């Protein structure tokens, strides 16, 4: 009961935060930009898909009459009409600023094949025919939107096709006769084809493109603690040369999501066009992750004497501290110590041009383990260090690792007098190098998935580090075999 009330409450908070325009969280955590080069690639791939779709489609049968001198009325029927070949050679996808995209297919050829029948009184003749259609231009306007769930949508707002030249080649006994009426027949074909093409495209957008766009992972699980929210914050934005998709880009604890109390920075994307897509990934994405892991205690650690390497000049026993903290040994003779560390607050990644770094602060509380197993706090240390982060990429993910810097330890509080913490520095350094960093690096190696549609692979990556965001450029490849 309590849990569901809590869930409801956080849901309300989330709704409150995400539905107020201009309020907290109105900047996207991640922007994916498709450049004109990317649109060109998409147009080419789209044309290839449509080419396959149009091949093999059937056109409606049609019938008609014509009058021949001395013979009178002749009835004809065209049937079993299939598109046997389709080459869509020219394609372009142009931004319609503020609206969507216009797909234009030109320089195209369609070949159809079918059968004919002619009837005049008792006379019945039949044969086959080929149709060659040259100079087809198809223009489709696509409207892009987003569902309340944050998934992208696409609909056709208009479609037109224009055929300027049809050639029908009729064979069979009476073929020569029908050829006399080719202009009438050709215009019937033109009509049938033109309407069928748009119908087929409309179907393909609804039943192929829309489901494909919805393969976008709106929520992706990263591990057993976190997921990333890649819902669209609004319909994709189309400007003169680019298409921008704004994603929330927030990492959250999937057991109990709580509203984030800091905002994503406003990002001003550089004008770059050498790659097909660019991802601007703000520090918000990384910092929301840091917050979740920190709050879940993932960055907490504990050091006990059994973890101290044998060659250490100091052990976590009060006896070992005798020389430099005499009061500790006197008050708690022959007892073990435990150091409990936490990174506080959650470390934020600093982005500066060309550099990624973080400066985590750790608080380490030292406890004496009393014979009763109770823990008695004796002193507190503050640890600071500078860490640089190195990012790497593979085809669908950003991965990385931390390069540790020197640690600086200072005594913050003590119930056992002031002492020199230098000896503890090596011990702490040893521990965080051997347990905390590998643990974090292990997570970083698993990587952050990018919001990519199914079967999309990245290559030719370039990375820039800007103030507040990473700018990752890449070419894309649709890899479905």
Ligand X SMILES: *[C@@H]1O[C@H](CO)[C@@H](O)[C@H](O)[C@H]1NC(C)=O
Smallest gap from Cβ 450 to ligand X, in A, equals: 11
* Nearer of residues 264 and 292 to ligand X, judged by Cβ: 292
Answer yes or no: are the C-beta atoms of 351 and 469 closer than 8 Å. Answer: yes
Q: Give the whole-angstrom CA distance, residue 62 versus residue 166.
A: 16
* Nearer of residues 187 and 352 to ligand X, judged by Cβ: 352
Smallest gap from Cβ 417 to ligand X, in A, equals: 23
Residue 335: phi and psi, rounded to 5, are: -125, 160
**Closest by Cα among 434, 424, 422, 438 to 337:** 424
* Residues of the shown chain interacting with ligand X in the complex, contacts defined by CB under 6 A: 224, 296-297, 300, 340, 342, 352, 354-355, 357, 359, 384-386, 388, 394-395, 397, 399, 405-406, 408, 445-447
* Nearer of residues 169 and 442 to ligand X, judged by Cβ: 442
Question: Which run of H or of E encompasses 294?
Answer: helix 283-295
In the three-class reduction of DSSP (H, G, I as helix; E, B as strand; rest coil), residue 384 is classed as strand
For ligand X, which residue has the nearest CB?
297
* Nearer of residues 17 and 401 to ligand X, judged by Cβ: 401
**Exposed, middle or buried by CB within 10 Å (0-12, 13-18, 19+), for 231?**
buried
Which contacts (CB < 8 Å, 24+ apart) does range 428-432 have? 428/303, 428/339, 428/341, 428/364, 428/381, 428/383, 430/309, 430/312, 431/301, 431/303, 431/307, 432/301, 432/341, 432/362, 432/404, 432/407
* Nearer of residues 384 and 441 to ligand X, judged by Cβ: 384
Could you list the beta-strand ranges (E) of 51-120. 58-59, 62-68, 72-96, 100-120
Q: Give the whole-angstrom CA distance, residue 219 versus residue 354.
A: 30
* Nearer of residues 243 and 421 to ligand X, judged by Cβ: 421
Smallest gap from Cβ 236 to ligand X, in A, equals: 27
CA atoms within 13 A on the CB side of 471: 18
Smallest gap from Cβ 194 to ligand X, in A, equals: 45
Smallest gap from Cβ 275 to ligand X, in A, equals: 19
* Nearer of residues 73 and 403 to ligand X, judged by Cβ: 403
Smallest gap from Cβ 223 to ligand X, in A, equals: 7
DSSP per residue, 341-381: EEE-SPPPPEEETTEEEE--EEEEEEEEE-TTS-EEEEEEE
Smallest gap from Cβ 316 to ligand X, in A, equals: 17
Q: CA of 13: how far to CAs of 229, 232, 313, in Å? A: 16, 19, 52
* Nearer of residues 329 and 407 to ligand X, judged by Cβ: 407
* Nearer of residues 137 and 386 to ligand X, judged by Cβ: 386
Residue whose pair of structure tokens reads 């309590």 in the numeric block: 2
Other beta carbons within 10 angstroms of residue 334's beta carbon come to 9
* Nearer of residues 44 and 439 to ligand X, judged by Cβ: 439
Strand order across the 237-238 sheet: 237-238, 243-247, 30-34, 277-282, 469-478, 456-466
Answer yes or no: are the C-beta atoms of 23 and 259 closer than 8 Å. Answer: no
Smallest gap from Cβ 106 to ligand X, in A, equals: 37
Smallest gap from Cβ 413 to ligand X, in A, equals: 14
Smallest gap from Cβ 252 to ligand X, in A, equals: 15
Q: At what angle do helices 36-54 and 182-204 cross, to 10 degrees?
A: 120
């Amino acid at each position: 009961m309590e849990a569901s009330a809590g869930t409801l409450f956080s849901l309300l908070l989330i709704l409150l935060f995400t539905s107020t325009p201009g309020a907290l969280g109105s900047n996207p955590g991640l922007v994916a930009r498709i450049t004109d080069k990317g649109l060109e690639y998409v147009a080419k791939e789209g044309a290839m898909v449509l080419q396959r779709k149009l091949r093999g489609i059937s056109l409606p049968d049609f019938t008609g009459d014509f009058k021949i001198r001395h013979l009178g009325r002749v009835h004809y029927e065209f049937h079993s009409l299939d598109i046997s070949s389709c080459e869509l050679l020219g394609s372009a996808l142009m931004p319609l600023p503020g609206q969507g995209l216009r797909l234009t297919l030109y320089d195209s050829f369609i070949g159809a094949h079918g059968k004919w029948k002619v009837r005049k009184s008792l006379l019945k003749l039949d044969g086959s025919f080929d149709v060659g259609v040259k100079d087809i231009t198809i223009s489709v306007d696509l409207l892009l939107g987003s569902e309340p769930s944050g998934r992208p949508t696409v609909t056709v707002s208009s479609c037109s096709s224009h055929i300027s030249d049809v050639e029908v080649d009729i064979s069979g006994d009476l073929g020569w006769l029908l050829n006399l009426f080719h202009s009438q027949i050709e215009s019937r074909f033109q009509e049938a084809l033109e309407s069928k093409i748009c119908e087929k495209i409309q179907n393909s957008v609804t039943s192929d493109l829309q489901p494909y766009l919805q393969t976008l992972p709106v929520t992706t699980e990263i591990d057993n603690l976190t997921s990333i929210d890649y819902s669209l914050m609004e319909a994709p934005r189309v400007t003169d040369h680019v298409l921008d998709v704004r994603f929330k880009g927030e990492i959250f604890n999937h057991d109990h999501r709580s509203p984030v109390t800091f905002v994503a920075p406003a990002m001003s994307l550089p004008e770059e066009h050498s790659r097909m897509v660019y991802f601007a990934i703000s520090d918000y994405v990384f910092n929301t992750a840091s917050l979740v892991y920190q709050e879940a205690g993932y960055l907490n650690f504990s050091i006990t004497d059994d973890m101290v390497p044998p060659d250490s000049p100091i052990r976590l026993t009060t006896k070992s501290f005798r020389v430099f903290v005499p009061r500790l040994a006197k008050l708690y003779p022959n007892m073990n110590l435990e150091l409990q560390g936490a990174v506080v607050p959650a470390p934020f990644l600093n982005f500066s041009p060309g550099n990624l770094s973080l400066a985590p602060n750790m608080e380490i509380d030292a406890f004496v383990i009393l014979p009763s197993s109770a823990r008695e706090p004796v002193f507190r240390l503050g640890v600071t260090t500078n860490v640089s982060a190195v990012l790497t990429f593979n085809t669908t993910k950003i991965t990385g690792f931390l390069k540790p810097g020197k640690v600086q330890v200072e005594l913050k509080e003590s119930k056992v007098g002031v002492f020199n913490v230098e000896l503890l520095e090596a011990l702490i350094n040893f521990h965080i190098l051997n347990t905390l960093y590998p643990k974090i690096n292990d997570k970083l190696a698993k990587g952050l998935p990018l919001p990519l549609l199914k079967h999309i692979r990245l290559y030719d990556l370039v990375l820039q580090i800007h103030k507040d965001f990473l700018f990752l450029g890449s070419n894309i490849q649709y890899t479905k075999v």
